[in-house]
Chains A and B, each alone.
Chain A
């Protein structure tokens, strides 16, 4: 794909995908942090 060896393609697409998944998991796990803002604003 893209004129690249398979391993290169897998690495340059796979690692960014892992970071996106990491971010999504972090956003999910930290969804409760909003409570801190509500308390603070009050």
Chain B
């Protein structure tokens, strides 16, 4: 058995061990299971948020972008660098506080509580599930490709192993297990990425010499406009690249749930600083290594394997195992967050909300597990027979998620006039415009990225829909009071917590009856 495989097995066992430990440590009620009992500190919050955002895309898609387009790929990295701090500074403190006041334990349920209507959940849950399925599919493919490279087994077998490990690991269940394993995986990702970047720079004679060598192959690769200068002046595409991984994060339900799980609202402050440090260390690496792979391995058949191949070429055998563990960490930390969130949406936001309102905690866990299994089987069927490119799926699904949900989450805490009509219009417009823009080939025809049109459409719909319907659908008084409290710096008064304030509880009950 090779050293790489031994490292991977040790890594898998270590992750399972942390998962079991966290599972035993965690509370067993639904808030304990879904939000870790709102007990997460700044370090785990920051690294969990970042590692679940940084997926297999970083090791396959980003490497491929660097290999094929040179410094153009850095537009994505430059937006990505600020994704964590932007998310935590804009949403973090307020979303943590408001979710507690409203008594929300899932990120979709939070939207329904803030914009009281069952239609919010009926629209948000399927859109989120659809995008998350494709996003997790990309993680499965990335995991399969990684194992194929390391073990030498065929892709379908490697894919089955990768999916099996991810699903088994997710079955450990619970937010606390996911948060703590993601924290450790984030550290492994940084160590692995910094290691491979340094080894690559040594192999090519340093950063400047590497750039000179790339310039000798194709000087266009050193510009910000792509290998054939095809993106020169294409500001619609460039702004989209900057937006998708910066403000886009604020619309990802499996990421913003991190805010709701923080120990205190002020955790967002320190977590923001930690997330920037993580990003500065981690994010540029995959793009640069992918680009410098052109010097070391100029004839790669599949550019998505650039980082795997470079790791194999420049690192000693034992280090390759650690880097492979880092790659699997990026994949698994995103996949487990996505699967947990998808299971939560299916069990809490759809089944318990609309089908079986008296569902027990045990039933909820089983609906969640069945959802995870179903997603895994369908994902395997698609990926094994016709695996699409990881980068394309990730960018598409994250674009739709961002377009659909960013205004809904941001306005939820910052705009008192944002109401149910505005939120429904925003989610529908963001989803429809970003999907139609993409499938109609409009990005190529107009040079405008679907993220740009999607976000513009959902923002406009939120503003117009909310303002036009204020008379008929005013924001309920209890929500306005909760927003006033959210804006204040200070602990939440006990009477504001739902169920403890007779007025709040009464209004919530009335709102429920009126739906």
Chain A residues near B (Cβ < 8 Å): 2-5, 7-8, 11-12, 15-16, 18-20, 22-23, 26-27, 30, 32-37, 39-40
List chain B residues, Cβ under 8 A from A4. 71, 211, 222
Q: Decide if A33 touches B265 in the complex (CB within 8 Å).
A: yes
Interface residues of A, dominant DSSP: helix
A36–B74 contact, CB under 8 A?
A: no
User: Quick check: is B93 within 8 A (CB to CB) of the other chain?
Assistant: yes
Tell me the interface secondary structure of chain B in the complex: helix
Is B207's CB under 8 angstroms from A2's CB? Answer: yes
The 0/1 profile, CB within 8 Å of A marked 1, for residues 68-94 of chain B is 000100100010011001100100010
Q: Which residues of B contact A20 (CB under 8 A)?
A: 276
Is the beta-carbon distance between A16 and B211 smaller than 8 angstroms? no
Any A CB within 8 A of the CB of B454: no
Query: Which residues does chain B contribute within 8 Å of A30, judged by CB atoms?
Result: 89, 93, 266, 268-269
Q: How many residues of B contact A (CB 8 A)?
A: 32
- Within the complex, the shortest CB–CB distance from A6 to chain B, in Å, comes to 11
A33 touches B78 (CB 8 A): no
The residue of chain A having its C-beta at the shortest distance from the C-beta of B86 within the complex is A22
A26 touches B223 (CB 8 A): no
- Cα-based distance from A40 to B212 in the complex (angstroms): 56
A36 cross-chain contacts in B, Cβ below 8 A = 264-266, 489-491
CB-based nearest B residue for A29: B89
Q: Check if B265 sits within 8 Å of A23, measured CB to CB.
A: no
B280 touching A16, Cβ below 8 Å = yes
**B residues adjacent to A (C-beta < 8 A):** 71, 74, 78, 81-82, 85-86, 89, 93, 207-212, 215, 222-224, 264-266, 268-269, 272-273, 276, 280, 284, 489-491
What is the CB-to-nearest-CB distance from B40 to chain A, in angstroms, rounded to a whole number? 15
Cβ 8 A contact of B224, one of A2, A7, A32: A7
Which 9 A-B pairs rank lowest in CB-CB distance, beginning with the nearest?
A: A3-B211, A33-B266, A15-B78, A19-B82, A3-B212, A3-B208, A26-B89, A30-B269, A36-B266
Q: Is the CB of B490 within 8 A of A39?
A: yes
Whole-angstrom CA separation of A24 from B80 in the bound complex: 18
Q: Which residue of A has the minimal Cβ distance to B97?
A: A36
- B208 partner residues in chain A, CB cutoff 8 A: 2-3
14 A-B contacts (beta carbon < 8 Å):
A8-B71, A8-B222, A11-B74, A11-B224, A12-B71, A16-B280, A22-B82, A23-B272, A26-B85, A30-B93, A30-B266, A30-B268, A32-B489, A33-B269
Specify which of B81, B264, B266 is in contact with A16 (CB 8 Å cutoff): B81
B264–A8 touching, CB < 8 Å: no
- Find the B residue at minimum CB distance from A26: B89
Residue of B nearest to A31 (CB): B269
Are A39's CB and B491's CB within 8 A? yes
Residues of A within 8 A of B272 (CB): 23, 26-27
Contact A40 B89 (CB under 8 A): no
Q: How many Å from the CB of A5 to the closest CB on chain B?
A: 6
Chain A's nearest CB lies how many Å from the CB of B273? 6
Q: Tell me the complex Cα distance, A26–B29, Å.
A: 35
CB neighbours of A22 from chain B (8 A): 82, 85-86, 89
B294 to chain A, nearest CB (A): 14
Alpha-carbon gap, A24 to B412, bound state (A): 25
Contact of A5 among B85, B222, B273 (CB under 8 A): B222
In angstroms, Cα B487 to Cα A33, docked, is: 12
Given contacts A3-B211, A4-B222, contact A23 B276 (CB under 8 A): yes
Task: Assess the B71–A15 pair: CB atoms within 8 A.
Answer: no
